[in-house]
Structure 1
Amino acid sequence: MAAFTGLRFGELASLRRRDVDTENAALMVRRSQAEMQTGALFDKAPKSDAGVRPVAFPAELLPDVKQHLDGFAGPGRDGHVFLGPQGGRLRRSNFRDDWVNARTKADIAGDVHFHDLRHTGNTLAVSGASLRELMTRMGHSTPRAALIYQHVVSGRDREIADQLGSMIRKERGDVDS
């Protein structure tokens, strides 16, 4: 999900079931999780007003998203989509081992950080998307001066996600890609 939406760790960690639209293959980013030095977790507004946004994801991921919601997410509309290993809130510290294990299993060498998936998502989405569309998708508010009068073309976020889905189908070897 991180690679195909470009969401930040805190945005993913704060997602609730009600933020996942399985009919339209989209997430609604409303908040971001932060951690105090004491270890206390709390939800806060995203980094900027631009951070509150819908983000479409490839429809090809829907079966996996639904399976995840059914088997791993917290209960109820306000249940967290991603949980820690003991069923509590996801923390960077309790995710680190899972991240290292996933990198090892995928044979990804080097010092690759989770945030690099955000860069991957942005890079994958670049093809055919305007700078303004990418800024909207990623929740960026700058460069404001050059883009203040540009508007996202309606439906382009879906097209971006569909293009990412085409990449998934091609990688999986699906015939219709």
Structure 2
Amino acid sequence: MSVPAAILPVLRDHLAAFVDDNPAALVFGSPNGRPIWRGNLNKVIGWSGAIGKLGVPGLHFHDLRHTGNTIAARTGASTREPLLAPGARS
């Protein structure tokens, strides 16, 4: 997966602060290092409260995938590339 250069400093800071040195560690995980699933998203990160503070109370986590796909398409990615991303289903 390629990471835009503009995001690398923020990603490095996040990794240093929240992720252990294990190469298999999750970039974004629960406090105990386990995956964040749709079913535990609100409990682990307080999704409902966070989106309420942002003023977008109807935002669903899956909406972020659509946004990512739109951004990818605008930067020249083919329509097939988002389908090849981890977690995507054809």
Q: With structure 1 as the length reference, what TM-score do the two structures score?
A: 0.40
Distance, in Å, in 2 between the alignment partners of 1:65 and 1:113 is 23
Equivalent of 1:90, from 31, 35, 38? 35
| Paired residues of 2:28 and 2:36 also in contact (CA < 8 A) | no
Question: What corresponds to 1:118 in structure 2?
Answer: 65
Question: How many residue pairs were aligned?
Answer: 84
Alignment match of 1:135 (pick from 58, 80, 87): 80
Q: Which residue is equivalent to 2:25?
A: 79
Q: Is the 8 A contact 1:103 1:109 kept in 2?
A: yes
Structure showing greater relative contact order (alpha-carbon pairs closer than 8 Å, 6 or more residues apart): 1
Q: Which secondary structure does the structure 2 equivalent of 1:117 belong to? A: helix
The SS at the match of 1:60 is coil
Structure 1 residue 122, shift from structure 2 partner:
1.0
Q: Secondary structure at the match of 2:56?
A: coil
Relative distance call for 1:107 and 1:141 in structure 2 (3 A) is: closer
Measured in 1, the distance between the counterparts of 2:34 and 2:27 equals: 10
Structure 1: 5+ residue stretches without partners? 1-26, 28-55, 143-177
Which runs of structure 1 show a deviation greater than 3 angstroms over 4 or more consecutive aligned residues? Answer: none
Specify the structure having the higher radius of gyration (Cα).
1
1:58 paired residue number: 4
Deviations 1:14-40 (A, max 9, x none): xxxxxxxxxxxxx3xxxxxxxxxxxxx
Match status 1:70 vs 2:42:
no
Higher strand fraction: Structure 1 or Structure 2?
Answer: 1
Percent identity reads: 35
Give the TM-score taking structure 2 as reference length: 0.71
Q: Give the C-alpha shift of residue 77 in structure 1.
A: 1.5
CA contact under 8 A between 1:74 and 1:81: conserved in structure 2?
no
Instruction: Return the offset for 1:119.
Output: 0.2
Which amino acid in 2 is paired with 1:63?
P
